[in-house]
Structure 1
């Protein structure tokens, strides 16, 4: 009876929530499949799909389509899981995010005059540092540049030692 009143008020029943979670679960499987297709497109392996002829352009197209599907599914799953969490919070089944989890402190957002949301620690921080950093890809690029510089230095050392070794052999032979 309670589920029927929740549905009439615009809230979803437990069965509806479970169906939504099942849909999310199915999309996670599709997400993994699209990631696999994208990775396969980066290899020289023959694709299972006969529409792709194995050319470079075919691989590029397959990779682009798979990554587009991957990111669309990832975004969709993220949004739907957030909705599930918010619904659990509204139903008081799950406690709202704490201040330590969002990176805020109770007094950091304006002290006593900041309002009840800030005092309770449930205010979402739109400029969460970890969220912003996750969207910045300089760490990976910096690490790649560092590795390339190390590889170049290693190759230069290897070249110098091989050149020095050949000259030493010539001196001994003469």
Structure 2
């Protein structure tokens, strides 16, 4: 797996023919689960996809799951939630880095690109929405992780689309 700056990843996707453009997979990496979201084919809207159980001894199986998703959805890259607002050696930041390192070490996703995106308070926002629903704890956690991944990916898509549109408008000549 290769790290690419977030906007660069989006720009690389746009350079392809429309029929060859891929989608993005959002990841919310937790200590027990990895929430997944998927962008629509036009890379405008993020939707919840699933949750993978995360265990150190199942990283090869997770890599296979990702390979299946890559072919099923024609994935362009992963947008990985990262807690930029905390210290770099904070436990949650370290676990995200370790997960990506472990996934890369499997050598099953060598052609895949990824970018980190600030997860900010995505989990907290979803948590506030879920608390009144009185869900079973496991159901609560899986929905939380899935929709946190949606928040991460949607923020990325909104930001990348806005910057690409702004750049196009600046470069477009003014017609009188």
Higher Cα radius of gyration:
1
The two structures have a TM-score, normalised by structure 2, of 0.24
Question: Greater relative contact order: 1 or 2 (C-alpha under 8 angstroms, separation 6 or more)?
Answer: 2
Flag the structure with higher helix content: 1
